[in-house]
Amino acid sequence: MPTTWVWQPAWSPQQLTAVALVLGGLGIWAYSRLLRDRLVPAVVLGLWRVLSIVIVCVLLAGPSREVPAKQAGRRSSLTILVDTSGSMQTEDMDGISRLDFLRTQWLDSAHRRQLADVVDIDLNRFDTDLRPLLPALLDQNATFWNPGRTTRLAESLATVVSRQPAGGAGAVLLISDGHDTAQTSLQPVAAQAKSRGVLIHTVPLGGRSQQRDVALLALPLQEQLYPNEPGAILCKLYQVGLNQRHVTLIVKQGETVQRIPVTLDRPIVELKVPVQQSKPGQYEYQVDIEPLVDEATTSNNSQRVFFEVQRKKIRVLMLEGQPYWDSKFLAQSLRKDERIELTQITQIASARRETIVSHAEQSAKPASLPVSLEDWSQYDVVLLGQALEHLLTVDSAAQLTEFVASHGGQVVFVRGPCCTPESPRAAQIARAMAMLEPVEWSGTAQDVSRQGSLRLSPAGKSTPWLASGKMGVDIDAALVRLPGFLSRVKTASEKPAAVVLARQGDTDVAQPALVSMNVGRGNVVAILGDGLWKWSLLRDLDAELLPFYDTFWSNLVRWLALGGDFPPGQQVALQLSRRSLRLGEPLQIDVAYRHTPPGGAPPRLEALLPGGKLQELALAPTAGKTPRYRAVLNTELAGVHEFRLTAPGMQPDTASARCNVVEVNEELLDTSADPDSLRQLAEQTGGRTFAPDEADQFLKQLERHQQASLVPPRREYVWNDWKVMLAVLGWVTVEWLLRRRWGWI
C-alpha cells in the first residue's frame, strides 16, 4: 500500500521562506569573505551550509506520513458451538428442524465467509461428546448428521471455555435449544468464562414441547440370589407433560402378576419392587407401564429384568491350627446360614484332628484336608485361622497360594497371621503364603483392648458387603458401640495393592483392622486381630445389634463367593460385564476356566440376538496361567440378548446367560427448549442473546467490535524517525569536520 505524505509546518510557508533566505544569505556572506584565501573549500562549505539550512527548513515544514488504522493485539477468535443432539431434530422452526434452521440461517457458506473476514472461526459440535464440526457437513441435510442420544451442554461448553485465550481475545457463539440431558447447571461455566474474560453469545432455538410421555427403566439391584433370598427391581419412570397423573406398573413373572399404582409427581419417579424365588434357576420378570390414552409413544413402556438363583451352596473351608473362641463363634455363625456348606477342620491336639461338615449335599464326598490344587478348587471361600503349621504342609500352602493367584480363589485371614514362624516348618509355610498376606507383620501379639472400636475408612464405606443397607443398621454408629480387638499382631506396613477398609482407633494413621487385596485373579480379606466373637454376646440394651455378627460374616462370605470368577461349585464361568445396559454401549463377555480342559478343546460362544438371529462370537484368549477368553459385542439392537457357551470337558459343559439392552432415550422424551438458561448464561458473561432471525445483527456486532479494537489512523513526523535525525546530525557533523580540517575552527 503506497505511503501518503502530508505537511504539518511549524510556521507558515512565508515565515519559513523568510527564515531560509535570511540564514542562507548570512551563510553565503560568511563564506564569501574566505574566497580570496581558499576558493574551492569556501565554495564547497558555502553550498554545504545553504543545503543544511534548506534541510532544516524542510523539516520545519513538517513532512509527515499517514499511518493507517490497525488491529490492536492479535486477531479475535470465535468458537462456534453447535448442538447436534436428538432434540435438535424437532421440527418447530418454521416447519423445519432446529438443526436445519441453524445450518441454513446461521452457518451457510456465505455467512461463514463473512464471519471469517472478521474473526478467526473454529467450528465445533456437541451431543454425547465434543468434537470438530466439518464445514462439508453443514452443506448436508440434518437427517444425515447422526444426532447424539444425549446432550452434554455444560460439560462441552466448559471444555471450550478452558481452551479460550484469557483476556478477552476469544468469544463463543452457542447455538442450541438449551436442553441438557444431564441437567447440569450452567452457573459454574458462566463463572469460569467471566473469570477468563470470555464472552458467550447464545442463540436459543425451538419452543416448548407439548409432548406427553412416560418411559420405563428397570434394573436388578442384585443379579444373583439364593433360594428364598429377597431381592428387588429398581424401576425408574421418566415423565414429561404428565405431572400428577396416575399410572399402573405391572410386574409379571410366570403366572404371578403385581399391579402397582404410581403417581407421577416428579420428573423421575423411583420405586423398588421386591422379588424372591424359592428354587434355583434363571428368572425373567416382565415390567410394563400400562399405556395412557394421550401418550406420545408406548414403545418405551416395557422392560425385561433377569435374576439368577444359584443352584449350588457356597462351599466354605475353615482351617484352625488350635481351638480358639473366635473360630468357635465364627463356625456357629456360618452354620446358621442355610446357603453355606461349611467344612471346619481343627487341630485339637498333636494327634487329634476334628472335622465338622454342615449343610452338605448327600452325594458330597467325605471331607479331607486339601493337599493339591484340585482339592483347594473344591471350595469357594477358604477361612484361615492361626497356627496352621499344625495342619498344612509347605507344599499344600504353596498350592493354596497358586489357587488364589491363578484360579480365582477367595481367602479370609480371620484373626491375623496364620502362622507364627517360631519353628522351621512354620517359617517355611509363612514364606509360602506370604504373597497372600496384605500387610507386613512386626512383632508378636499384644493387648489392644484399650485402643477403641473399629472405624470404617472411606474405602470401607464404599465396600458392598459393609453397606448399611446390607448390614441392616447404620454400620458407622454400630461400630462405635461394638468392642474392638482384644489382641493383635502389630503391622509394619500395608502392601501397595492392599486397601484398608477399617482401622482401630480414631486417627487416620491408626493400625489397620480390616484389609482387602487382589492377588492375581483371586481376593484376600484379612481381619488383623481377634476378639470379634464378643459381637455375638451383646447385652439386651444392644438388641438391635444382635444380628450384626452373623450378618457381617454371611455378607463377607457371600460377597467373596459371588464376586470371584466362578459361581459356587463350577469349573467354568460365563460372565457378562452387565445384565442391563443401554443401547449402543459395549458388552464384554468373559469365559474363565479353573483348569485346562481335557484335550485343550476351546470354548464356543453364540449370541441369540433380538429378532431370533444367531451369531457366533469370536473368543480371543487373554493372558493368564489358566484358560481365559474374551469377546466384545457392540449392542445395536434393543431387547434381550442370550449367550450360549459350549465348554467341552468342563463342569458344566454348557452355560447360558442373558442380558437386556434397553432404549430409554431421555433426549427425545422431553424436547422442550430452555431459552432462559441460555439468556442468563449470556448475561452473566457479558455476551448477548440473539433471536433466531438475527444472524445479520450478530455479524454487524462482530464488525463493530472489530472496529472498536482498531488503533485509529495517525500522522508521524519524519523527524520522529531516528534514521532521519541521524542523517541530519551526520550532515552537520561533516561540515564541522571539514571546517576543522581546513583550519577555520
Which pLDDT band holds residue 148 (cuts at 50, 70, 90)? Answer: confident
Alpha carbons 353 and 346: distance in angstroms, whole number: 6
- Say yes or no to pLDDT of 168 above 90: no
- Phi and psi of 249, rounded to 5°? -95, 125
* 654 beta partners: 646
pLDDT of amino acid 319:
94
DSSP secondary structure letters along 440-493: EEEEEEEE-TTS--EEE-HHHHT-GGG-HHHHSS-HHHHHHHS---SEEEEEEE
pLDDT of 195 over the 80 cut: yes
As a whole number, mean pLDDT of residues 518-530 equals 89
Radius of gyration of the chain (CA): 42
pLDDT digits (tens, 9 = 90+) for 376-419: 988 989 999 988 988 999 999 999 999 998 888 899 999 888 88
- pLDDT band, residue 509 (cuts 50/70/90): low
For residue range 422-474, what is the model confidence (pLDDT) as tens digits?
788 888 998 999 999 999 888 777 777 778 888 988 888 877 778 776 677 78
Distance CA 248, CA 443 (A): 65
**The dihedral formed by the CA atoms of 44, 45, 46 and 52, expressed in degrees to the nearest 10:** 110
Comparing 3-7, 312-316, 358-362, 427-431, which segment has the lowest mean pLDDT?
A: 3-7
Q: Which CATH class is domain 78-109+116-209+671-690?
A: alpha beta
- Supply the pLDDT for residue 422: 76
Read off the C-alpha cell for 266.
416428579
Neighbour-count burial for 28-44, b at 16+ CB within 10 Å, e otherwise: eeebeebeeeeeebbee
Percent helix, percent strand, percent coil in the chain, to nearest 5: 30, 30, 35
Distance from the first to the final alpha carbon of the chain: 48
Among candidate residues 711, 712, 715, the one with its CA nearest the CA of residue 5 = 715
Place of cell 414429561: 240
Q: CA of 424: how far to CAs of 196, 207, 352, 385, 431, in Å?
A: 69, 82, 22, 19, 11
Determine which of 191-200, 345-354, 493-502, 575-584 has the lowest per-residue pLDDT on average: 575-584
Asked whether the predicted pLDDT for residue 578 surpasses 80, the reply is no
Phi-psi region of 95 (alpha: psi -120 to 50; beta: other; left: phi over 0): left
Q: How confident is the model at residue 710 (pLDDT cuts 50, 70, 90)?
A: low
Q: Of 356, 215, 210, 89, which is closest to residue 666 (Cα–Cα)?
A: 215
pLDDT at site 443:
72
Q: The whole model's pTM is what?
A: 0.50
Q: Give residue 608's pLDDT.
A: 93
Answer for the pair 285, 307: CB distance below 8 angstroms, yes or no: yes
pLDDT at 69: 57
The confidence score (pLDDT) of residue 517 equals: 92
The answer, yes or no, to whether residue 43 has pLDDT greater than 90, is no
Least confident of 345-349, 473-477, 605-609, 738-742: 738-742
Of residues 148 and 661, the one with the higher pLDDT is: 661
- Cα dihedral 710, 712, 715, 719 sign: negative
- Is residue 89 within 8 A of residue 147, CB to CB? The reply is yes
Mean pLDDT in the chain? 83
State whether CATH 2.60.40.10 applies to domain 572-661.
Answer: yes
b (16+ CB within 10 A) / e for 679-691: eebbebbebbbbe
CATH hierarchy code of domain 314-563: 3.40.50.880
Those residues whose C-beta lies under 8 Å from the C-beta of residue 578, and which sit 6 or more positions away, are 585, 587, 659
Question: What's the average model confidence in pLDDT over 646-672?
Answer: 80
Judging by beta carbons within 10 Å of its beta carbon (0-12, 13-18, 19+), is residue 618 exposed, middle or buried? Answer: exposed
Structure letter (DSSP) for residue 687 = -
Alpha-carbon distance of 173 to 106, in angstroms, equals 11
- Tell me which of 464 and 736 has the higher pLDDT: 736
Report the distance separating Cα 187 and Cα 56, nearest Å.
Answer: 65
pLDDT tens digits for 228-269?
A: 878 889 898 988 888 889 999 999 998 999 999 999 998 889
Between 595 and 745, the higher pLDDT residue: 595
pLDDT band at 67 (very low <50, low <70, confident <90, very high): low
pLDDT value, residue 579 = 76
* 154 CB-near residues (< 8 Å, 6+ apart): 180, 182, 184, 185, 186, 188, 189
Q: Which residues contact 63 (CB under 8 A, 6 or more apart)?
A: 5, 7, 717, 718
* Lowest-confidence segment of 275-289, 517-531, 670-684, 696-710 by average pLDDT: 696-710
Strand partners, 635: none
Q: Which of 445, 557, 455, 471 is nearest to 512 (CA)?
A: 455
Q: 387, 473, 457: which is closest to 429 by C-alpha?
A: 387
Which CATH number is correct for 213-311, 1.20.1440.130, 2.60.40.10, 3.40.50.800, 3.30.70.20?
2.60.40.10
> Rounded to 5 degrees, what angle do the CA atoms 332, 430, 331 make?
5
| CB contact set of 570 (below 8 Å; sequence gap of 6+) | 312, 651, 652
The whole-number average pLDDT for the span 591-613 is 86
163 is written with which cell numbers? Answer: 481452551
3-state secondary structure of 155: helix
Q: Higher model confidence: residue 359 or residue 333?
A: 333
Q: What mean pLDDT is predicted for residues 214-228?
A: 82
Three-state SS for 201?
strand
Q: Of the given ranges (55-59, 151-155, 373-377), which has the lowest mean pLDDT?
A: 55-59
Q: Find the range with the poorest average confidence among 160-164, 223-227, 302-306.
A: 223-227
Q: Which of 554, 557, 555 is nearest to 336 (CA)?
A: 554
Residue 631 contacts residue 618 (beta carbons within 8 Å): yes
Contact status, residue 647 vs residue 593, Cβ threshold 8 Å: yes
Cα–Cα separations (whole angstroms), residue 609 to 282, 284, 614: 18, 16, 6
Q: Judge whether residue 602 has pLDDT over 90.
A: no
Residue 111 half-sphere exposure, CB side, CA atoms within 13 Å? 19
Asked if residue 363 has pLDDT above 60, the reply is no
Only one residue has cell 434394573, namely 219
Tell me the C-alpha distance between 231 and 241, whole Å. 32
Least confident span in 120-129, 272-281, 550-559, 623-632: 623-632
Separation between Cα atoms, residue 478 and residue 686, nearest integer Å? 54
Task: Rounding to the nearest 10 degrees, give the CA dihedral for residues 564, 565, 568, 572.
Answer: -170
Encode burial over 89-103: b for 16+ CB neighbours within 10 A, e otherwise: bbebbeeebbbbbbb
